[in-house]
Chain A
Amino acid sequence: MKRYSAFAIAREALRNHTGWERAWSSPEPRRRYDAIIVGAGGHGLATAYYLGKNHGVRNVAILEKGWLGGGNTGRNTTIIRSNYLQDPSAAIYEKARSLYETLSQELNYNIMFSPRGVMMLAQTEHEVRGYRRTAQANALQGVDTEFIGPKRVKELCPIIRLEGPRYPVLGALWQPRAGTARHDAVAWGYARACSDMGMHVIQNCEVTGVRREGGRVTGVDTTRGPIDCDKLGIVVAGHSGRLAEMAGFRLPIESVALQALVSEPIKPVMDVVVMANTVHGYMSQSDKGEMVIGGGADGYNNYTQRGSFHHVEETVRALIETFPMLSRLKMLRWWGGIVDMTGDRSPIISKTPVEGVFINCGWGTGGFKAIPGSGWAMAELMARGEPGPLAAEFSLDRFREGRFIDESVAAGVAH
């Protein structure tokens, strides 16, 4: 793999850009791999990357039914933060956030991580108390957050209206090191690095069955033929229930649609991310100038990647109330993704009832921020067959045993 650098750009400029290589190869599938990952979203690709990098497992294929990052990884609003409440969450989200800080250098691929700061508005007394508590918990967890007053909120984000018609801004939970990144680039950067290690990233290859013998996985059936493997990692977000069914077990997951939209591009008006959980909407401005907007998930099961219009209406209403200057903006694009919701709003990174099958899912509305940490933890689990400290609490049997990791409050608005 040729490295990307300022020098490479200069060299290619002089020879009409004829020397760029393909970022990853598209090989024919082999008959057998040591490990197969189903799903080339961020979590699947990061799992493969750390399997190779941290554990030396390189005979790996990542099978994707559509295109690289075409699932939720390429559909999210790219908020990265780690100000959750429970210790296991803080550990894995903060691991991910800190890996994001140096990911561009590590992958030699510009993922445009922008630690511009994330502000979660407190608009009721209850929220004020909740976020003060989160700030205290974060201090103990070593996550840098702070509760700030309305004056500071206005300094950080001048376009906010503090005296909204329904809910005044009473303060905010502020995480200065949180921010955003370029979602496609995260998938592409990991894919390029995996390909460079000799792994096979295979697109347009849908897994249709999981082969088992005596309670152990032996391989998968795909639209490009059967492929054998010793270990199988299922990392397919909204389709987790389908894959689990193929492997013969069930998951505590429901799939629902979550939507987002972007406006026409305008000049820079805000350089932080603002989330308003009470009125239910959040917003940031992309480098192109578009306002990136998201809100709540739909309330019923859905596999269509399209959501209900009234949620968009509610989100936009909430944001106009918070940022009156938005009222005359035109919206350019609007889309949905199928998110995998667990009852405690925490993910599952776990062994399964089938030996050799591992699952990473349940990131729901908020897993983009977790990609590097999740891949790190899942790779450790797959390589050793046992979870390390990051994954241990997120096992599938926590539901049966009542060890919930309740983040329904910290998860707040769906993002």
Chain B
Amino acid sequence: MLLLTCPYCGVAAEETELAPGGEAHLARVGPEGTDDAFHAYLFEKENPRGVHFERWRHAMGCGKWFHAARCTVTLEVFGTYPAQTTEPPEHIRAAISAKRPGWTWRDLA
């Protein structure tokens, strides 16, 4: 059972209270994008065995979207953070590095 703490209202929400929203930090591709960029944006999902960043919604609570950093092999949660950012904040990255030295995700490390 996954427990994520909502960074807005502070509730340690149990999975049934949350709605999963898929891969985090997607850069939307506009009309000027190339075919390759569109293809990558729409279909080439991150599917790591290890550190992963996701969007979640506190659907049965305050209703806010937020981000979570998780491990897909141990189901460990490294931390959650608000949605108003294009990449994980420093303290989240540090928390991951402490437990998974050398981790990478897309072009983050």
Give the B-binding residues of A (Cβ under 8 A). Answer: 239, 241-242, 250-255, 299-304, 306, 308-310, 343, 399-400
Bound Cα distance A253, B15 (Å):
23
Residues of A within 8 A of B74 (CB): 304
CB of B9 to closest CB in A, whole Å: 21
- Name the CB-closest residue of B to A399: B43
Inter-chain contact total with CB atoms closer than 8 Å: 54
Question: Known contacts A242-B49, A308-B2, A310-B16; is A301 also within 8 Å of B42 by CB?
Answer: no
User: Are B54's CB and A300's CB within 8 A?
Assistant: yes
Q: Supply 26 A–B pairs (Cβ within 8 Å), ascending by A.
A: A239-B49, A241-B48, A242-B49, A250-B40, A252-B45, A253-B45, A253-B47, A255-B72, A300-B2, A300-B70, A301-B47, A301-B72, A302-B72, A302-B75, A303-B49, A303-B72, A303-B73, A304-B72, A304-B73, A304-B74, A304-B75, A308-B1, A308-B15, A399-B39, A399-B43, A400-B43
A415 to chain B, nearest CB (A): 21
Top-8 shortest CB links A-B: A252-B43, A299-B20, A241-B47, A300-B20, A250-B44, A399-B43, A400-B39, A303-B49
Q: Which of A310, A343, A400 contacts B35 (CB 8 A)?
A: A400
Distance of A254 from chain B, by nearest CB (Å): 5
Kindly state whether residue B52 has any CB partner on chain A within 8 Å.
yes
> A301–B52 contact, CB under 8 A?
yes
Query: Closest CB of chain B to A175's CB: distance in Å?
Result: 32
In the complex, A163 Cα to B29 Cα: how many Å? 49
Are B47's CB and A251's CB within 8 A?
yes
**C-alpha gap A340/B25 in the complex (Å):** 22
Known: A300-B54, A304-B73. A399 touches B45 (CB 8 A): no
With A and B bound together, what is the CA distance between A251 and B47 in angstroms?
Answer: 9
A residues less than 8 Å from B52 (CB atoms) = 301
Specify the main secondary structure of chain A where it touches its partner.
mixed
Residues of B within 8 A of A303 (CB): 49, 72-73
B15 touching A310, Cβ below 8 Å: yes
For B54, the closest partner residue in chain A by CB is A300
Interface size class of B (residues with CB under 8 A): 20 to 34
Q: Using Cβ atoms and an 8 Å threshold, which residues of chain B touch A252? A: 43-45
Chain B min CB distance to A340 (Å): 9
- Contact partner of B1 (CB less than 8 A), chosen from A251, A310, A343, A399, is A310
A63 to chain B, nearest CB (A): 18
Q: Which of A253, A300, A399 has the most CB of B within 10 A?
A: A300
Residues of A within 8 A of B19 (CB): 299
**In angstroms, how far is the closest chain A Cβ from the Cβ of B59?**
11
- Chain B 8-40 residues near chain A, CB threshold 8 A: 15-16, 19-20, 35, 39-40
With A302-B72, A304-B72, A399-B43 known, 20 other A-B pairs at CB within 8 A are A241-B47, A241-B48, A242-B49, A250-B44, A251-B44, A251-B47, A255-B49, A299-B19, A299-B20, A300-B70, A301-B48, A301-B72, A302-B75, A303-B73, A304-B73, A308-B2, A310-B1, A310-B16, A399-B42, A400-B39
CB-CB under 8 A from B2, the residues of chain A are: 300, 308
Q: Which residues of A contact B20 (CB under 8 A)?
A: 299-300
Give Cα A94 to B16, complex, Å: 38
Which among B47, B70, B74 has the highest number of chain A CB atoms within 10 Å? B47
Interface pair B47/A255, CB less than 8 Å apart: yes
Q: How far is the CB of A3 from chain B (nearest CB, A)?
A: 42
A257 to B29, CA, bound (A): 30
Nearest opposing residue in chain A for B2, CB measure: A308
> Closest CB-CB distance, A236 to chain B, in whole Å?
12
Interfacial chain A residues near B45, Cβ < 8 Å: 252-254
Residue from A250, A252, A301, A308 with most neighbouring chain B CB atoms (10 Å): A301
Chain B nearest CB from A399 CB (Å) reads: 5
Among residues of A, the one whose C-beta sits closest to the C-beta of B73 is A303
Report the bound CA distance from A251 to B48 in whole Å.
Answer: 12
**Cα distance A169–B15 when bound, in Å?**
31
Q: Collect the chain B residues with CB atoms within 8 Å of residue A343's CB.
A: 43
When chains A and B are docked, how far (Å) is the Cα of A306 from the Cα of B74? Answer: 10
A34 to B18 CA separation, bound complex (whole angstroms): 50
Given contacts A300-B54, A301-B72, A400-B35, contact A309 B1 (CB under 8 A): yes
Q: In the assembled complex, how far is the CB of residue B54 from the closest CB belonging to chain A, in whole angstroms?
A: 6
